[in-house]
């Protein structure tokens, strides 16, 4: 209550305050029959008794007629609630304030929706009136927790470990690879700035500059459509260190998260477990495994290798062919035939992967098109390999290793959703399972042209020390010093040890990636002036906070987010500008024909 004219907030009055004269400011949450109202501010609720005597008739008239969500000031005396009328669900439920004077500071017009968490409203309406949605306790709580976490992170990095908080430029130049960048026109004809997707180059240059330890709560930009976990503008906890290895970065981040973790969410155990990229793909079908539940992918190639099943032998004849399966716990009880068909259809449409099911009936016998091709010994080995119990359902896939694993990994998550919808408690919503994924490939074949390579992380990532020589002979086999941090199946951070040799950086850009190194000449030249070995990481702050508070979308932990299509529905951005505004930038808009006609009309 420092610097303001209230004596208390609406959430702090208790029995100890009885008899005190207080002044409260807040919004009218609701009012009942001119007898009392509930006043709300950022901290909580207080019940205010409206006076009924003639001497205070003007106060009664004022408060009784105040529309819901009007801003009022109330001065009165704290009193205990009458016996039996206490409200144990409210922190202030033992007291009430008997109003003596009041003032309506601002009356509220008819609301587009009620300011209550349990009232359902469309996301588009919430974003159009975001300033009203921000009054909800859910958003208030999320934004305040976010603020506390960031403050603790600053404390850990700057005060305890000597990091320097540096702001890097927002206007820079277009860089090769990665996500699409927003372009910003300049007054020089044909020349554009670019909004950085991360401060990657700047933080490396700060290490060349001898800063040793850099940190920033960085605003980043990507010109791509929004998804539940993506926004065109987002925030990273951006970190870089000199003279560090992968283990050093990992220990730093574990300590950072332990220090800043909200107490009300329990404690987190360190060190976090670690898994290679190949292990994650083989066991979970993804590079961001949700380790809160089992149902791992199992390799059953050896069990079925001796069978005379045509599609099995066909799959195993390929160099990277394998037969794998997942076992769905109590699938018979919780999954319908329609569910199983939808799972198989999903694998077919998304991965072009055929799926076969095996059901173990309550009597222990197997039901599947496969059983007539399998002897008792093979059936027994299959049950043992999959640890298949009565009532379980197995989904089996055969084909190229990566495709099979990816398809089964997706089915594993879809099955978990179906089981939980049907009532099986599979994933603890209060559990936080962190995991490091390491040893990613340095390069991947381009989707549009598999004969060409692209960086799996970004072109500044250093090769694994054991694979450094392969960089020049067989780059497809090189592992990287790239590491991702995964939480409950979501990537919340990613980083790497960087290339600090100008010669190696030029080779990667020109010979492996076939990129024009001239675009990055400033960085390559900097590496020639005594660049220290360095590495770093960026944590996705929006995604991390959304997982901590169990929000369905990162939009629920950002004060003013963009819509799915990247629009600001409140301010109607992006918006048109006049030809006069564009003229200094030497830009003319070429309108699609239908938009030309629409503008005419």
Residue 189 resides in a domain: yes
Report the pLDDT averaged over residues 128-142: 95
pLDDT for 596 beyond 80: no
Lowest mean pLDDT among 187-196, 221-230, 233-242, 311-320: 221-230
pLDDT for 589 beyond 60: yes
Whether residue 158 is found in the same domain as residue 271: yes
Helix (H) or strand (E) holding 435: strand 434-438
Q: Which stretches does DSSP call E strand in 348-432?
A: 356-360, 366-367, 393-400
Residue 307 resides in a domain: yes
Domain count, the chain: 3
C-alpha distances in angstroms, 584 versus 170, 193, 507, 591?
21, 15, 40, 19
> Which of 378, 403, 422 lies at the terminal end of a domain, its last residue?
422
The CATH number covering residue 525 comes to 3.30.930.10
Whether residue 409 is found in the same domain as residue 520: no
Name, in order, each residue with C-beta under 8 angstroms of 45's C-beta and a sequence gap of 6 or more.
10, 11, 29, 38, 39, 90, 92
Secondary structure string (H, E, C) spanning 293-338:
CCCCCEECHHHHCCCCCHHHHHHHCCCCEEEEEEEECCHHHHCCHH
Whether residue 268 is found in the same domain as residue 189: yes
Mean pLDDT estimate for the chain: 94
Q: What is the pLDDT of residue 500?
A: 98
Tokens of 266: 């329990």
Q: What is the pLDDT of residue 227?
A: 66
Residue 126 resides in a domain: no
Residue 600 resides in a domain: no
Model confidence pLDDT, tens digit, residues 302-313: 999 988 888 999
pLDDT interval class at 224 (50, 70, 90): confident
Higher pLDDT, 565 or 333: 333
> Which of 556, 573, 591 lies at the terminal end of a domain, its last residue?
556
C-alpha distances in angstroms, 490 versus 28, 218, 238, 494, 537?
40, 20, 18, 11, 16
pLDDT for 599 beyond 90: no
| Full DSSP string of 210-252 | T--EEEEEEEEE--S--BTTB-SEEEEEEEEEES--HHHHHHH
Q: Which stretches does DSSP call E strand in 511-553?
A: 534-540
The CATH number covering residue 336 comes to 3.30.1360.30
Residues 264, 265, 267: CA angle, nearest 5 degrees: 105
Whether residue 437 is found in the same domain as residue 418: no
Whether residue 438 is found in the same domain as residue 417: no
Report the pLDDT averaged over residues 182-188: 96
pLDDT interval class at 141 (50, 70, 90): very high
Whether residue 271 is found in the same domain as residue 143: yes
The CATH number covering residue 84 comes to 2.40.50.140
C-alpha distances in angstroms, 95 versus 6, 15, 45, 284?
18, 6, 11, 54
Higher pLDDT, 102 or 590: 102
Q: What is the pLDDT of residue 564?
A: 82
pLDDT for 371 beyond 60: yes
Residue 598 resides in a domain: no
Euclidean distance between CA atoms 42 and 581, whole angstroms:
41
Residue 594 resides in a domain: no
Number of Cβ atoms within 10 Å of the Cβ of 34:
13
> Which of 83, 106, 129 lies at the terminal end of a domain, its last residue?
106
pLDDT for 513 beyond 90: yes
Tokens of 24: 């409260």
pLDDT for 601 beyond 60: no
CB 297 within 8 A of CB 324: yes
Which residue in the block uniquely carries the two structure tokens 């055929």?
A: 354
- Can you give the length of the chain in residues? 601
Euclidean distance between CA atoms 76 and 54, whole angstroms:
17
Q: What is the pLDDT of residue 597?
A: 60
Higher pLDDT, 552 or 285: 285
Whether residue 410 is found in the same domain as residue 438: no
Residue 88 sits in which domain range?
A: 15-106
Whether residue 385 is found in the same domain as residue 442: no
Secondary structure string (H, E, C) spanning 575-593:
CCCCHHHHHHHCCCCCCCH
Tokens of 213: 């330890």
Report the pLDDT averaged over residues 417-432: 94
Tokens of 452: 């060409």
Higher pLDDT, 115 or 168: 168
Residue 126's Cβ-side half-sphere holds a number of Cα atoms within 13 Å equal to 22
pLDDT for 118 beyond 80: no
Which residue in the block uniquely carries the two structure tokens 């998260």?
A: 257
Whether residue 174 is found in the same domain as residue 267: yes
Whether residue 318 is found in the same domain as residue 390: yes
pLDDT interval class at 476 (50, 70, 90): very high
pLDDT interval class at 176 (50, 70, 90): confident
User: Is it true that the peptide bond before 574 is cis, omega within 30 degrees of 0?
Assistant: yes
DSSP-assigned beta bridge partners for residue 366: 360
Whether residue 239 is found in the same domain as residue 263: yes
Residue 571 resides in a domain: no
Whether residue 265 is found in the same domain as residue 302: no
Model confidence pLDDT, tens digit, residues 255-300: 999 999 999 999 999 999 999 999 999 999 999 999 999 999 999 9
Residue 262 resides in a domain: yes
Report the pLDDT averaged over residues 137-155: 97
Backbone angles phi, psi at 126, to 5 degrees: -60, -40
C-alpha distances in angstroms, 65 versus 3, 36, 55?
30, 12, 18
Q: Report the interhelical angle of 137-154 vs 246-260 (nearest 10°).
A: 130
Euclidean distance between CA atoms 208 and 214, whole angstroms:
12
**What percentage of the chain reaches a pLDDT higher than 90?**
87
């Amino acid at each position: 209550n420092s610097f303001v004219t209230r004596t208390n907030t609406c959430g702090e009055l208790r029995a100890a305050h009885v008899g005190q004269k207080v002044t409260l400011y807040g919004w009218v949450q609701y009012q009942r029959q001119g007898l009392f109202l509930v006043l709300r501010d950022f901290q909580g609720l207080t019940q205010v008794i409206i006076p009924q005597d003639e001497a205070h008739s003007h106060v009664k008239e004022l408060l009784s007629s105040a529309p819901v969500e009007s801003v009022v000031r109330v001065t009165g005396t704290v009193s205990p609630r009458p016996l039996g009328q206490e409200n144990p669900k409210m922190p202030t439920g033992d007291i009430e304030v008997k109003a003596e004077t009041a003032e309506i500071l601002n009356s509220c017009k008819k609301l587009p929706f009620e300011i209550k968490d349990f009232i359902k409203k469309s996301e588009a309406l919430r974003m159009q009136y975001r300033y009203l949605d921000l009054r909800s306790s859910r958003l208030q709580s999320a934004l305040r927790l976010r603020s506390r976490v960031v403050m603790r992170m600053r404390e850990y990095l700057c005060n305890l470990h000597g990091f320097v908080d540096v702001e890097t430029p927002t206007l820079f130049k277009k860089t090769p690879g990665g996500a699409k960048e927003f372009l910003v026109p300049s007054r020089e004809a044909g020349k554009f700035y670019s909004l950085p997707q991360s401060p990657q180059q700047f933080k490396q240059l700060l290490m060349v500059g001898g800063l040793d330890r850099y940190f920033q709560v960085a605003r980043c930009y990507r010109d791509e459509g929004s998804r539940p976990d993506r926004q065109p503008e987002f925030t990273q906890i951006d970190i870089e260190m000199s003279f560090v290895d992968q283990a050093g970065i990992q220990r730093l981040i574990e300590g950072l998260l332990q220090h800043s973790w909200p107490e009300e969410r329990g404690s987190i155990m360190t060190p976090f477990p670690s898994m290679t990229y190949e292990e994650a793909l083989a066991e979970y079908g993804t590079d961001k495994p949700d380790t809160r539940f089992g149902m791992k992918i199992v390799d059953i190639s050896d069990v079925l290798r001796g069978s005379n099943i045509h599609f099995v032998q066909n799959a195993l004849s390929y160099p990277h062919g394998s037969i794998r399966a997942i076992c769905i716990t109590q699938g018979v009880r919780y999954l319908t035939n329609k569910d199983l068909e939808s799972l198989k259809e999903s694998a077919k449409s998304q991965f072009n992967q055929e799926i076969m099911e095996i059901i173990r009936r309550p009597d222990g016998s197997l039901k599947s098109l496969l059983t007539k091709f399998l002897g008792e010994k093979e059936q027994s080995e299959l049950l043992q390999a999959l640890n298949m119990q009565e009532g379980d359902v197995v989904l089996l896939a055969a084909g190229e290793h990566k495709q099979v694993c990816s398809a089964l990994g997706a089915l594993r998550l879809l099955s978990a959703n179906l089981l939980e919808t049907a009532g099986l408690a599979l994933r603890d919503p209060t559990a936080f399972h962190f995991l490091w994924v390491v040893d990613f490939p340095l390069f991947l074949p381009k989707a549009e042209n598999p004969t060409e390579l692209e960086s799996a992380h970004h072109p500044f990532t250093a090769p694994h020390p054991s694979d450094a020589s392969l960089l020049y002979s067989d780059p497809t086999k090189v592992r990287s010093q790239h590491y991702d941090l995964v939480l409950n199946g979501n990537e919340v951070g990613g980083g790497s040890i960087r290339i600090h040799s100008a010669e190696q950086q030029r080779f990667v850009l020109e010979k492996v990636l076939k990129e024009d190194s001239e675009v990055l000449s400033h960085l390559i030249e900097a590496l020639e002036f005594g660049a220290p070995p360095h590495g770093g990481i960026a944590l996705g702050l929006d995604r991390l906070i959304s997982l901590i508070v169990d929000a369905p979308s990162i939009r629920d932990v950002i004060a003013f987010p963009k819509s799915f299509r990247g629009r600001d529905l409140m301010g109607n951005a992006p918006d048109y500008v006049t030809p006069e505004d564009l003229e200094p930038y030497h830009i003319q808009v070429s309108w699609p024909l239908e938009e030309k006609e629409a503008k005419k009309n």
